[in-house]
Structure 1
Amino acid sequence: MARPGTRNLITDIDGISVGQAEDARIGTGVTVIVPDCPVLSAICVAGGGPGTRESDLLSAGRLVSDSVDAICLSGGSAFGLAAADGVMAGLKAQGRGFTLVPRPGVPPTPIVPAAILYDLANGGDKDWGDTAPYAGLGRKAFDSAGKSFNLGKAGAAFGARAGLAPGGTGSASIVTKDGLTVGALAAVNSFGSVRMPGSEAFWAWPFEIAGEFGGARPEAGFAFDPEDWGAAKANPSPRENTTLACIALDAVVTHDEIQRIAQMALSGMARAIRPVFAPTDGDVIFVISTQKREAEGSRAMAIARLGELAAGTLARAIARGVYEAERQEGRP
């Protein structure tokens, strides 16, 4: 039977590390997913108001879609895109990056796709003067990368909100009986609610494993008004919101296949948040693969399995991030 990995984190994928940094005064943070070596990557953008950097590089036919050195997720809205500068600086110091023709004195260029969420209205001190803090936070997050990292009020979701609940950084993993591993990390700043209206149960409850986000279940016969969004930020009314995610695989896949997995993984957000993909949401999913294990069976069936595992694991990561943030704020 499939089960979570040892840590139940995206870092259960061999060769993947995560670093985080926060600024409590500003009320913001950065999360960086760092593979040990360049990886194949894809992106799927579902929200109507995304903020991304280097995302076009991940489209089919691009030169460096298999040469991604890190994925950067940040608060700060468009200011936060500068966090990738700090990540690039750290990678350059290690001599990492893409080069077409090596030449003396010409450094490789680190490939760092990035996405941001909106946390500018969370009450933190945003009067940072002429220089935004995000490049520094990006470098700090990169330098801290390791196998363990904090969930809840941490990293890119430090200043986030999930509907009326505190937002959070969540992660989860799954290992199949034939040894494939899928991990997910999410920074949850959703407009929609992660819980069912009038219930303690998360929308993602059917996918929960071993009580990882509290074990609450809807009561027998539970029903709700289709127009009731529960504890969304408004019910209904749009604001600036985003859920950012990164899925990591160890399976050998092609670019077309990893793009299909990214599209399937979007359903994980829909399983965990309601409403989702709204006009002002910036929902984005990155998928990366370390290409270390061959999947069994036909290619179509293998990709169907991986896409479904990615979706379920992402739904768990989203609920887990909010659950841990609520615990940090004193919710039982």
Structure 2
Amino acid sequence: MSLSPGPRNRITDVEGILVGNAEDHRIRTGVTVIFPETRCAAIADIRGGAPGTLNIQAMEPASLRNEVDAIVLSGGSMYGLDAAGGVVAALGARGRGVAFGGAVIPVVPAAILFDLVNGGDKSWGETPPYGALGRAALDAVGPDFALGNAGAGLGARAGALKGGLGSASTVTADGLQIGSLVAVNSFGSVVMPGTDRFWAGPLEMGAEFGGLGPPPAEWRGEAEMPLPPGFALNPMANTTIAVVAVNAALDKGALQRLAIMAQDGLARAIRPIHTPFDGDSVFALATGRVPLSGPAMLARLGHLAADTLARAVARGVYHAESLGDRPGWRSRFGPAA
């Protein structure tokens, strides 16, 4: 069955999903908010050894409910969790959330990445910028948004290259919509050692990240794991955080399986992945607009979600511009389509 990117090739090709970015270029950090227009089911799958998250337990299958009002991805390490508080306050003021005894409680899970040593001015004292950045990102939500040095990807680094915010989508002839968004701040490399080719290259649609195709015929791989510049055993210095969304109706168990399968997209695009130094986290959203016909359809959705996430990783790095000590992919390897 034929597959193609959606019209924007972003997670917002899943109807009902909006995204907003906010950045502080002086600090070299930012926040991305994923906003479902209608509260929808969500789950998370955590595979890295050093995650930083908020409200993950509220989405677990054993919990009472798992619908969310927004998901926040942020730089700033633990300081970045304040971004979710800014989004909660703004949504509560709008009356968006779970109504309980006359109160309104927005449900906003979050994940953070480490960008505290990228050269930006982090001397914010007792007033970190993340609550304000969260509110600004929420105010900016819409169907179109920037990739690369944007939102939570502004200060990110991907191995020896500049990391960034990536997104991709897949639509099928029978009406399925699969989208992904990722802030790539990985310990591992997104390119094959000694080449300019993305690990996700075999999955590329069109020339969405350069159109380079497979690696050169003479490439035989490299046995040793490449280390990023200035590598040190810092268990909080990386993390790739992502969201996948589908337009299907999935219960908690099915949504958990989708998130588990989608994690393989990171393994198809970054090597090594899920290390002790990363906090790799993938959220899954289901908008419920298409009925789930059975486990075969779920397997298909999970497979497409993983491939779409892998493409988003490459797109995030492809679109990133050089910053600090990390060159952008296009700066290092030259212009590409």
Same fold (TM over 0.5): yes
1:321 to 2:322 alignment:
no
1:67-95 deviation digits (Å, cap 9, x = unpaired)? 20000000000000010011112211221
1:327 CA displacement: 7.8
Stretches of structure 1 that go unaligned for 5 or more consecutive residues are none
Correspondence 1:166-177 to 2 at 5 A: 166-177=162-173
In structure 1, the partner of 2:298 is: 303
Instruction: Please tell me the residue identity of whatever aligns with 1:37.
Output: T
Instruction: Output the CA distance in 2 between the equivalents of 1:264 and 1:44.
Output: 9
Instruction: Output the CA distance in 2 between the equivalents of 1:130 and 1:236.
Output: 29
1:99-136 deviation digits (Å, cap 9, x = unpaired)? 24x43xxx310000000000001111110021111000
Correspondence 1:107-122 to 2 at 5 A: 107-122=103-118
Q: Secondary structure at the match of 1:318?
A: helix
Aligned residue pairs, count = 323
In structure 1, the partner of 2:8 is: 7
Matched-pair contact (CA < 8 Å) for 1:265–1:311: yes
Q: Secondary structure at the match of 1:37?
A: coil
1:2 CA displacement: 1.0
Correspondence 1:1-332 to 2 at 5 A: 1-65=2-66, 67-100=67-100, 102-103=101-102, 107-216=103-212, 217-229=214-226, 232-233=227-228, 238-239=233-234, 240-296=237-293, 299-326=294-321, 329=328, 331=331, 332=335
Instruction: Please tell me the residue identity of whatever aligns with 2:119.
Output: G
TM-score normalized by structure 2? 0.93
1:34-64 deviation digits (Å, cap 9, x = unpaired)? 0011110010000000000000111112123
1:226 CA displacement: 2.3
Matched-pair contact (CA < 8 Å) for 1:166–1:322: yes
- Quote the sequence identity (%): 51
Instruction: Output the CA distance in 1 between the equivalents of 2:273 and 2:204.
Output: 20
Instruction: Output the CA distance in 2 between the equivalents of 1:80 and 1:235.
Output: 24
With over 3 angstroms needed to count, the CA separation of the structure-2 counterparts of 1:96 and 1:144, relative to structure 1, is same
Matched-pair contact (CA < 8 Å) for 2:245–2:284: yes
Instruction: Please tell me the residue identity of whatever aligns with 2:297.
Output: A
Stretches of structure 2 that go unaligned for 5 or more consecutive residues are none
Matched-pair contact (CA < 8 Å) for 2:200–2:268: yes
Matched-pair contact (CA < 8 Å) for 2:225–2:272: no
Q: Secondary structure at the match of 1:308?
A: helix
Matched-pair contact (CA < 8 Å) for 2:182–2:309: yes
Matched-pair contact (CA < 8 Å) for 1:191–1:238: no
Matched-pair contact (CA < 8 Å) for 2:50–2:277: yes
Q: Secondary structure at the match of 2:143?
A: coil
Q: Secondary structure at the match of 1:96?
A: coil
1:209-253 deviation digits (Å, cap 9, x = unpaired)? 001000123011421122243xx4159864410000000110111
Instruction: Output the CA distance in 2 between the equivalents of 1:326 and 1:267.
Output: 26
Instruction: Please tell me the residue identity of whatever aligns with 1:21.
Output: A
